A and B are shown apart, each in its own frame.
Chain A
Amino acid sequence: MSTDEKQAVRPPSYGAGAPDKDAFTGRNGVPLYTRNGNQNDYRTYEVYQRERVKEATDKIRPIQLISPEFIKDPYPVLEILRENYPFYRDWLGNSFWVTRYDDVTSIFTDDANFETRPKRWFYGIEDLGRDLGQEVPVLTAQAARIDANVARIAAEIVDGFRANGGADLAIDFAARLPLELLACVLDLPKEDFPTFVDRYWRMQRGAMWEPKSRQAGLGAIQELVEYFRPILAARRARPGDDLLSAIAGLDLEDGPATAEDVVVTLLEQDHETLHGGIANMWLQLMTHPEQLDLVKRERRMVKFAWLETLRHSTPVVTANRFSRHEVERFGRLIPIGALLHCSAAAANRDPRQYKEPDRFIVGRKDLCQREPRGQYRADGLPAGLAFGLGKPTRHPAVPEDRPRSLYALCRDTATTASNVLLEALPDLRLKPGATPALRSLRLGEMHTCWHLPVVF
């Protein structure tokens, strides 16, 4: 290879001393690089097409989206996407990332073009059973039992560690409460609780890319089916007011409910977001003493702390959608079957929606102060995206024929339980020296606080 070839590995436009700049002279002696800058130049359709995708995404490497840093703290990377490449094509993950608030909600509300695939699809067990979570008797039983028991269970949990002078709120409170509630809603025998928790968590964590967890999850699903089979039969014979009795009593078109249906229903509606929401809220309150004081002074602010938590540190980083057919969005043609990562975490910190989005401000004025469902906006304000990431409900906010939405139920549960905690331990504070933080255990799992040591 001769010397001129070695040097020419840099292009003409790269730096001083570039080689044959004059080689890029077009017809009539006009330098082509100048001519290309001219927007009035005629362009064929093909050239236009190519320039349209000419989005050099050199501020990010796709491997960053699966890196350990991203698992720990996704916000810096998501900010790069949101501010530079709002509709990012992730070549490594064969997917698109949607990161701005209006874009994300436009996908969530567009049920005609984008579908959600159930956890059963990821497990490859779509035929296992039916998801009965939207049946009105099931919703009614669930809401009734939660409302009746949440204060009592929260009080019992707090009493359990009250004498210790300290606790790990993330585990002893946030992780425990939803599971105890779930066991109560199902009315399971107390001695079964540890095995139930074990199976339930394995099942929920298995619907992921990680093959070992998937195997464990498939095993747990089988165990749960066998576990629920006799219980369901017993409830059918002697119904109570619990969720299993409601499922057993359903009058379904294609046969009575089975134990498989029970497990599928449990699989598709998880408790993790309630767990993550409570843990994240208490992390923020513990690390923002002034906000904690505010909440202590005015107990109605607990609800606002909850809403602000869902915005500021949502446990759900992204939600998946798949395009049902070829559809044009955000200036791009999205092919059929494409995977879209709609990032709630990125949308929730969109400066186009929120002033100082990285700050945790209880009762902030630019956040919708109602349950974040429906149109994602009410009173002209955006709501934090955490769960309820679906098409807007067609039911009124306070429906007569069914209980209030699961999202409202979650909010009330978290608020009630947190009020119990505040009541019982008025001088709750972070253990000195502790540096709690948010993180996911694994890529794609909930982003939450796993250790929150407190003293009182």
Chain B
Amino acid sequence: MNTEPFAAVFARALGADAGDLTEKAADGDFQDIFPLMPVGERVDMGSAPDGTPLIDPRIFFSAEFRRNPWPYYRLMRDHYPVYFNQLNNTYYVTRYDDMTECYFDDIGFNTIPKGSSNGVLGNVTHELSGVEHRRRRNLFGQHLVGKALENRVPAIERLAQEMIDDWASVDAPWCITNGNVRTIELGQAFADAFPVRVVCDVLGFPKEARGNFVYWYNSIMGGLGASETHKQGMEARQHLEDYVESIVEERRARPTFLYDNDGNKLGKDIISKLCESQVDGDFLSTEEITALIALVVAGGGETTRGTLMNMWYSLLQKTDQAEAALADESLWDAVFHETLRHSNPIGGQPRHATFDVQIHGMTVPAGSLIEMVNFSGSHDERIFADPDNFNIFRADLYTGKLLRSGFRKEGKCSHMAFGVGPHMCPGAWISHQEAVVGSKILSRTMKNPRINRDRMPKDIDGVSLAPIGINKTRELWLDYDLT
């Protein structure tokens, strides 16, 4: 037998865990392992002998990552263009060019129904691929672009103006008037409800349904995936379906119409149109229409809310850019696109490998879940210079009309917030109108808007404002002058 006591040999073999054999909590709290870092810096998770930094997959569960994700995404882009997170059994694609390629290959990287919405959205379009997807998407996508969209702009303007006019008379904690200065919480005063009202209006639902729509979209979004909120999501989905079903049956018999501000008929609303849509000579079923509507409700609410909040939050922190945008309304397009590049409300999209694929020398087995990290693609320094900086004047971001083909021309690229390719967000164009039109009207009303820093959540230093991170701005307190 050996001279060295076995316990010592064994302790060495266990390494850092050797001192941890007693009864203390296993692994501790993630908060202890990943302390909050100053924005832009990251926790050192060790490195391989060749110097490659390592990624501890538990970081993705930490508060640090949620508020300060960019250094970690950069690490993935630089060292792990395809990163396998074994703890989540998920592959991440993080570079702009790789994501673009995958998004366009909707056969190799499919979206076939694996229940990624866990039944909450129903039989939805974004879980279809190829021809099947294209046919269904075009049926309702056509109502959200081009002339159909232009017809809706007056209604969007009217809804925004109505809400803002209400502030003068409202008595609520989120709207305080003190002399010539009014303080509002932009979320409660405007952004929470505005997108839902637009969705309701676009779909042609009566005003009374608005309150339920807020509930429906909150619950449906919260119920995605498995969680304690899933049940609520399923129930909300059922209520929505019951409600929509009765509406659809009515519209089949008596179509309803959209009107401009002068009361002139602009055409049938979406549901009435869908009721007469045909696929291969067959009318859409009520269930199919409901699934489309569930998608519009879920997709058209929270995302636009987050965009509006992030736009104003990011912009008002850059004094010179804010002054420029408030002086020149044509700059709001740039604000919209730069916000979606810098901090878009949707993190990424899942795809599944149809075959065994090789990406950057790594084999991804058939059936694997691959997350296209839109967050990271929009911050890819291979595409955008100084990507972590919010700058509406940047020269390398395409801010023109959004195209499903993406946009790469003359050194400009579109951001990744809506994805690209066949599955590019069908609501991109209407959400653009909502956010830009809404912001223009807000900027006309609010004189000299500024962030009320006293009421805002602070970063870890207790002074600067909390970063947006992968979340959306939850609350935004603004002061503005009435005259």
Interface residues of A (CB under 8 A from B): 1-2, 4-13, 19-20, 23-27, 32-33, 36, 44, 46-47, 49-51, 53-54, 56-58, 60-63, 66, 68, 71-72, 88-95, 122, 156, 160, 168, 171-172, 175-176, 190-191, 193-194, 197-198, 200-202, 208-212, 215-216, 219, 322-323, 335-339, 435, 437, 439-443, 450-451
Whether the Cβ atoms of B7 and A63 lie closer than 8 Å is no
Whether the Cβ atoms of B367 and A36 lie closer than 8 Å is no
Whether the Cβ atoms of B231 and A58 lie closer than 8 Å is yes
Interface core residue of B10, B54, B218, B249 (most chain A CB under 10 Å): B10
Whether the Cβ atoms of A441 and B188 lie closer than 8 Å is no
Closest CB-CB distance, A246 to chain B, in whole Å? Answer: 25
- What chain B residues lie within 8 Å of A193 (beta carbons)? 2, 9
Whether the Cβ atoms of B86 and A57 lie closer than 8 Å is no
Interface core residue of A10, A44, A94 (most chain B CB under 10 Å): A94
* Known A32-B246, A49-B123, A439-B26; contact A11-B215, beta-carbon cutoff 8 A: yes
A47, A91, A93, A335: the one contacting B352 at CB < 8 Å is A335
- What chain B residues lie within 8 Å of A450 (beta carbons)? 21
Closest CB-CB distance, B405 to chain A, in whole Å? Answer: 30
* Known A194-B12, A215-B49; contact A68-B17, beta-carbon cutoff 8 A: no
A5, A71, A156, A191: the one contacting B214 at CB < 8 Å is A5
Whether the Cβ atoms of A451 and B49 lie closer than 8 Å is no
Whether the Cβ atoms of A437 and B10 lie closer than 8 Å is no
* Known A91-B225, A194-B12; contact A335-B367, beta-carbon cutoff 8 A: yes
Does B385 touch A at the CB level, under 8 Å?
no
- 17 A–B contacts, CB within 8 A, in A order: A2-B166, A5-B193, A11-B212, A26-B246, A27-B246, A32-B242, A46-B291, A60-B226, A68-B29, A176-B10, A191-B2, A197-B10, A202-B15, A215-B46, A215-B54, A337-B352, A441-B17
Within the assembled complex, what's the spacing in Å between the Cα atoms of A339 and B211?
A: 41
- What chain A residues lie within 8 Å of B467 (beta carbons)? none
* Known A63-B61, A338-B367; contact A68-B27, beta-carbon cutoff 8 A: yes
Within the assembled complex, what's the spacing in Å between the Cα atoms of A46 and B9?
A: 61
Within the assembled complex, what's the spacing in Å between the Cα atoms of A12 and B26?
A: 44
Does B119 touch A at the CB level, under 8 Å?
yes
Does B453 touch A at the CB level, under 8 Å?
no
Whether the Cβ atoms of B56 and A61 lie closer than 8 Å is no
Whether the Cβ atoms of A437 and B90 lie closer than 8 Å is no
Q: Mark each residue of chain B from 199 to 241: 1 if its CB lies under 8 Å from any CB of chain A, else 0.
A: 0000000001111101100110000011111110011101100
Within the assembled complex, what's the spacing in Å between the Cα atoms of A170 and B171?
A: 68
Sorted nearest first, the 5 A-B pairs with minimum C-beta distance are: A337-B367, A8-B211, A56-B231, A201-B13, A336-B367
Whether the Cβ atoms of B54 and A337 lie closer than 8 Å is no
Closest CB-CB distance, A168 to chain B, in whole Å? Answer: 7
Whether the Cβ atoms of A197 and B54 lie closer than 8 Å is no
Whether the Cβ atoms of B211 and A337 lie closer than 8 Å is no
A23, A26, A44, A171: the one contacting B285 at CB < 8 Å is A44
- What chain A residues lie within 8 Å of B119 (beta carbons)? 50-51, 53-54
Whether the Cβ atoms of A198 and B211 lie closer than 8 Å is no
Output the nearest chain B residue to A89 by Cβ-Cβ distance: B226
Within the assembled complex, what's the spacing in Å between the Cα atoms of A36 and B1?
A: 74
* Known A57-B226, A175-B10, A323-B367; contact A71-B22, beta-carbon cutoff 8 A: no
Whether the Cβ atoms of A216 and B56 lie closer than 8 Å is no
Whether the Cβ atoms of A93 and B89 lie closer than 8 Å is yes
* Known A36-B238, A439-B26, A451-B21; contact A172-B87, beta-carbon cutoff 8 A: no
Whether the Cβ atoms of B115 and A94 lie closer than 8 Å is no
- What chain A residues lie within 8 Å of B2 (beta carbons)? 190-191, 193-194
- What chain B residues lie within 8 Å of A47 (beta carbons)? 287
Does B130 touch A at the CB level, under 8 Å?
no
Interface residues of B (CB under 8 A from A): 1-2, 4, 6-7, 9-10, 12-15, 17, 20-23, 25-29, 45-46, 48-49, 54-58, 61, 85-90, 112, 114-115, 118-119, 122-123, 163, 166, 188-189, 192-193, 208-212, 214-215, 218-219, 225-231, 234-236, 238-239, 242-243, 245-246, 249, 285, 287-288, 291, 352-353, 365-369
- What chain A residues lie within 8 Å of B189 (beta carbons)? 1
Within the assembled complex, what's the spacing in Å between the Cα atoms of A209 and B54?
A: 12
Whether the Cβ atoms of A62 and B287 lie closer than 8 Å is no
- What chain B residues lie within 8 Å of A439 (beta carbons)? 26
B48, B229, B242, B287: the one contacting A44 at CB < 8 Å is B287
Within the assembled complex, what's the spacing in Å between the Cα atoms of A296 and B366?
A: 54
Number of A-B contacts (CB under 8 A): 211
* Known A26-B246, A57-B230; contact A197-B13, beta-carbon cutoff 8 A: yes
* Known A12-B239, A94-B90, A338-B367; contact A27-B249, beta-carbon cutoff 8 A: yes
Output the nearest chain B residue to A26 by Cβ-Cβ distance: B246
B20, B235, B353: the one contacting A337 at CB < 8 Å is B353
Closest CB-CB distance, B301 to chain A, in whole Å? Answer: 13
Output the nearest chain A residue to B369 by Cβ-Cβ distance: A94
Whether the Cβ atoms of A171 and B89 lie closer than 8 Å is no
Whether the Cβ atoms of A219 and B49 lie closer than 8 Å is yes
Within the assembled complex, what's the spacing in Å between the Cα atoms of A20 and B207?
A: 13
Output the nearest chain A residue to B122 by Cβ-Cβ distance: A50
Within the assembled complex, what's the spacing in Å between the Cα atoms of A179 and B239?
A: 62
Within the assembled complex, what's the spacing in Å between the Cα atoms of A74 and B129?
A: 39
Whether the Cβ atoms of A68 and B26 lie closer than 8 Å is yes
Output the nearest chain A residue to B285 by Cβ-Cβ distance: A44
* Known A23-B243, A50-B122; contact A202-B211, beta-carbon cutoff 8 A: no
Whether the Cβ atoms of B56 and A194 lie closer than 8 Å is no
Output the nearest chain B residue to A9 by Cβ-Cβ distance: B215
B21, B27, B88, B214: the one contacting A443 at CB < 8 Å is B27
Whether the Cβ atoms of B54 and A211 lie closer than 8 Å is yes
Other A-B contacts than A13-B235, A201-B13, 19 sampled, CB-CB below 8 A, are A8-B211, A8-B214, A23-B243, A27-B249, A32-B246, A62-B225, A72-B25, A72-B26, A90-B226, A160-B6, A171-B7, A197-B9, A197-B13, A208-B86, A211-B55, A335-B114, A337-B353, A338-B367, A442-B17
A54, A176, A337: the one contacting B366 at CB < 8 Å is A337
Closest CB-CB distance, B366 to chain A, in whole Å? Answer: 5
Whether the Cβ atoms of A211 and B238 lie closer than 8 Å is no
Whether the Cβ atoms of B211 and A441 lie closer than 8 Å is no
Within the assembled complex, what's the spacing in Å between the Cα atoms of A175 and B12?
A: 13
- What chain B residues lie within 8 Å of A12 (beta carbons)? 239
B13, B89, B291: the one contacting A200 at CB < 8 Å is B13
Whether the Cβ atoms of B212 and A8 lie closer than 8 Å is yes
Closest CB-CB distance, B347 to chain A, in whole Å? Answer: 14
Within the assembled complex, what's the spacing in Å between the Cα atoms of A219 and B50?
A: 12
Within the assembled complex, what's the spacing in Å between the Cα atoms of A80 and B230?
A: 17
- What chain B residues lie within 8 Å of A49 (beta carbons)? 123
- What chain B residues lie within 8 Å of A5 (beta carbons)? 193, 210-211, 214
Whether the Cβ atoms of B27 and A194 lie closer than 8 Å is no
- What chain A residues lie within 8 Å of B26 (beta carbons)? 68, 71-72, 439-442
- What chain B residues lie within 8 Å of A1 (beta carbons)? 163, 188-189, 192-193
- What chain A residues lie within 8 Å of B226 (beta carbons)? 57, 60, 62, 88-92
Interface core residue of B86, B215, B226, B239 (most chain A CB under 10 Å): B226
Closest CB-CB distance, A3 to chain B, in whole Å? Answer: 9
Output the nearest chain B residue to A450 by Cβ-Cβ distance: B21
- What chain A residues lie within 8 Å of B208 (beta carbons)? 20, 23
Within the assembled complex, what's the spacing in Å between the Cα atoms of A441 and B15?
A: 12
B1, B28, B49, B288: the one contacting A68 at CB < 8 Å is B28
Within the assembled complex, what's the spacing in Å between the Cα atoms of A94 and B86?
A: 10
- What chain A residues lie within 8 Å of B4 (beta carbons)? 194
Output the nearest chain A residue to B87 by Cβ-Cβ distance: A209
- What chain A residues lie within 8 Å of B291 (beta carbons)? 46
Closest CB-CB distance, B196 to chain A, in whole Å? Answer: 9
Within the assembled complex, what's the spacing in Å between the Cα atoms of A53 and B127?
A: 15
Output the nearest chain A residue to B356 by Cβ-Cβ distance: A337
Within the assembled complex, what's the spacing in Å between the Cα atoms of A122 and B84?
A: 10
